[in-house]
């Protein structure tokens, strides 16, 4: 493995279990470290680099924007906000957008919307339904909504006002909320990312939409990781033909430039009034330009269709090579958001993959996560398989 650990700064807070490499540049779905070693990037900055690295149309657009205006206070109108909001509204079937800087911030805003929605109805202590294995962020409120005791440990007392239920079980949510007048919203990921690439079933999503309508709850769908074309539709919930009331976005929306958004439908669009919520950097012209150009390029280059086609090709190849192996529990996901669950912990694969020239991640201890850029070709998908399969077989043989 390339030695870099010794050169790492002693002044950076120790919050990541980093691998001993430092990346210097990228082109398409390949990156190079400071020593010149090349890697095939099957992680895409954790589902962030939608257009890959050094995209020939994104880079000049961002350079042009930097030369014009990087930041503008939200005291003033930001025309690019209007432009990006209109694009998101059109593609989501929703009505209004609030811009922030990250998925955590978007999820935090969604939780504030849910509470204000409850208070406006006269509910003093609003309750939000959340899910086992969910991940919504690391602020105190989003951490409380998250369903991972390991990341919550050491940060109590957590925020109250959450009921936790299992995925894909409509009777469980009915039972958990029965007779509770304080429930105001249901909050979930269409496909859980950090929780192990766990998809919500289409019929369950449809049942949930119906339940929210019956009970006057906000349906809040965290599309931070699974949205922005990753599954082959703009947003993963669209496979179920439903429209949420609140939809946090981030990650792939800016192709690497920090950005977050909360898209709201009619039920939630007017909950916030001036002074209820805000941000200094959110909606800045540079991030907005990144979002506008990302959507433009995705459409021009047919990247939703590409994500569906190449994702299906990659999943089929993984199933062919690994699916029947004892030790491989399940290969799941959709488009270019795939998880390979093993029957044993596989964290060691991250370092071994780096040695082999492949970037990926392991989540929920036993799940290999692949979330490459949406520009991935079938030939590059085959390369991922060729590099990954021997590593998995070797690990399972240990």
Candidates 98, 117, 135, 162; catalytic one: 135
Q: What backbone phi and psi angles, to 5 degrees, belong to 39?
A: -135, 145
Q: Whose structure tokens read 């989501």?
A: 92
Candidates 117, 188, 233, 251; catalytic one: 251
- How far apart CA 389 and CA 352 sit, in angstroms, is 12
Q: Give how far Cα 232 sits from Cα of 66, 197, 336, Å.
A: 31, 16, 8
Q: Quick one: average pLDDT of 158-168?
A: 98
Query: What's the confidence (pLDDT) of residue 1?
Result: 45
| Residues 203 and 237 sit within 8 Å (Cβ to Cβ) | no
Instruction: Return the structure tokens found at 46.
Output: 């954790």
Query: What's the confidence (pLDDT) of residue 15?
Result: 86
Query: What's the confidence (pLDDT) of residue 97?
Result: 98
SS3 (DSSP) at 167: coil
Burial category of 128 from C-beta neighbours within 10 Å (exposed 0-12, middle 13-18, buried 19 and up): buried
- Is a pLDDT exceeding 50 seen at residue 2? no
Q: What backbone phi and psi angles, to 5 degrees, belong to 177?
A: -110, 0
Question: Does the active-site annotation cover 251?
Answer: yes
- How far apart CA 231 and CA 164 sit, in angstroms, is 26
Residue pLDDT, tens place only, 217-268: 999 999 999 999 999 999 999 999 999 999 999 999 999 999 999 999 999 9
Question: Does the active-site annotation cover 235?
Answer: no
Residue pLDDT, tens place only, 28-41: 999 999 999 999 99
| Residues 363 and 197 sit within 8 Å (Cβ to Cβ) | yes
- How far apart CA 387 and CA 398 sit, in angstroms, is 18
- Is a pLDDT exceeding 60 seen at residue 45? yes
The edge-to-edge listing of strands for the beta sheet with 361-363 is 328-334, 337-342, 367-370, 361-363
Residue pLDDT, tens place only, 102-147: 999 999 999 999 999 999 999 999 999 999 999 999 999 999 999 9
Question: Does the active-site annotation cover 162?
Answer: no
* Of 66, 148, 84, 122, nearest in space to 365 by CA: 148
| Residues 109 and 262 sit within 8 Å (Cβ to Cβ) | yes
Q: What backbone phi and psi angles, to 5 degrees, belong to 23?
A: -85, 145
């Amino acid at each position: 493995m390339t030695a870099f650990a010794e050169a790492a700064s002693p002044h950076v807070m120790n919050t990541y279990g980093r691998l001993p490499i430092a990346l210097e540049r990228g082109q398409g779905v390949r990156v190079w470290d400071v020593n010149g070693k090349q890697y095939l990037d099957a992680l895409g900055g954790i589902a962030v680099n939608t257009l890959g690295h050094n995209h020939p149309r994104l880079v000049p657009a961002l350079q042009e924007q930097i030369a014009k205006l990087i930041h503008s206070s939200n005291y003033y109108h930001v025309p690019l906000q209007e432009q990006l909001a209109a694009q998101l509204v059109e593609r989501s079937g929703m009505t209004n957008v609030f811009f922030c800087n990250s998925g955590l911030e978007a999820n935090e805003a969604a939780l504030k919307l849910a509470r204000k929605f409850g208070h406006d109805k006269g509910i003093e202590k609003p309750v939000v339904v959340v899910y086992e294995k969910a991940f919504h962020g690391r602020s105190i409120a989003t951490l409380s909504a998250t369903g991972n005791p390991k990341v919550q440990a050491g940060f109590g007392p957590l925020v109250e006002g959450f009921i936790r239920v299992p995925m894909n079980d409509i009777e469980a949510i009915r039972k958990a909320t029965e007779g509770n007048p304080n429930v105001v919203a249901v909050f979930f990921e269409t496909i859980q990312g950090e929780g192990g690439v766990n998809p919500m079933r289409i019929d369950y999503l449809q049942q949930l939409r119906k339940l929210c309508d019956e009970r006057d709850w906000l349906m809040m769908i965290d599309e931070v990781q699974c949205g922005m074309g990753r599954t082959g539709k703009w947003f993963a919930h669209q496979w179920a033909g439903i429209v949420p009331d609140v939809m946090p976005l981030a990650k792939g929306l800016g192709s690497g430039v920090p950005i977050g958004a909360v898209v709201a439908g009619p039920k939630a669009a007017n909950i916030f009034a001036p002074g209820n919520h805000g941000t200094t950097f959110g909606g800045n012209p540079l991030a907005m330009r990144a979002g506008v150009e990302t959507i433009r390029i995705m459409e021009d280059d047919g990247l939703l269709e590409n994500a569906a086609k190449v994702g299906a090709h990659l999943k089929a190849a993984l199933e062919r090579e690994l699916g029947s192996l004892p030790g491989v529990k399940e290969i799941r996901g959709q488009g270019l958001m795939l998880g390979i669950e093993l029957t044993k912990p596989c964290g060691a694969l991250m370092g071994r993959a780096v040695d082999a020239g492949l970037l990926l991640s392991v989540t929920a201890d036993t799940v290999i996560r692949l979330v490459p850029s949406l520009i991935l070709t079938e030939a590059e998908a085959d390369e991922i398989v060729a590099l990954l399969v021997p590593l998995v077989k070797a690990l399972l043989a240990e």
